[in-house]
Amino acid sequence: MANPIDTLQQFIDEAEHIAFFGGAGVSTESGLLDYRSDNGAYTKLERQKLDPRRVMSKRYLLNSPEKFFNQTNNKKKRIKSEPNAAHLYLAELESKPKDVRIITQNVDRLHQTAGSKLVVELHGNNRHFHCMECGREYKPKEIQRDELNIPRCPIDNGIIRADVVLFGENIKPEILERAKELIASSDLLIIAGTSLTVNPAKNLIHYFKGKRVVVINKTPLKIDFPIDLVIEDAVGETFKQLSI
């Protein structure tokens, strides 16, 4: 039986267009928590008898901004994260050059930090902010907070929020179409670090019509189309063993 790493290396070497579909597990080795594991953000909220779909929703943000910003976002210790081996490998592979298309469910922009040029962020990112009233854009260091710790626009006192997709919001149609296009035109699909439980992101992989599908995940996934290679390991640890 062939070594799984050797097989993955062969698939990457032979592929002309690689689509990398990544979830929270891609960034856990950078020190960021995922969502649905024992220590994940959703699990922690559920232990507090809070419904993640409610307290991480746009409606909750609008109706209870003081609770939204104090109970869900700012009570989390800010972690200085850096790209891990997976981010760095994909960026280096693209620079060789190799046609690498990244479709990510993450909002941390670690792929861009590593140097990747083609990144589709399905759920936006938490590095860019805007006022919900006037649309003015803000950098993190520019944000001012009121006495309730709510980020406010100094022009119109509107709430400033991150450019992320919350529960109750839809992924922008142009983002979905771009992701579909990139996946459909690839000949290798690597699904990594995702539970594939969130719509509509989980359905995007079904647009793949190419040659080979690889899954890299610590736990098994239920996917209803053929998979050519499964590696049950951390994503970064897997990519550490590959060569360019």
Residue among 87, 123, 128, 206 flagged as catalytic: 123
How would you label 143-159 residue by residue, b for 16+ Cβ within 10 Å and e otherwise? eeeeeeebbbbeeeebb
Whose tokens are 């079904």? That residue is 206
How would you label 200-228 residue by residue, b for 16+ Cβ within 10 Å and e otherwise? ebbebbebbebebbbbbbeeebeeeeeee
Query: CA 170, CA 240: separation in Å to the nearest integer?
Result: 35
Q: Are strands 188-192 and 99-104 parallel, antiparallel or unpaired?
A: unpaired
Structure tokens at 37: 């594991």
Q: Is 123 a catalytic residue?
A: yes
* Residues assigned a catalytic role: 123
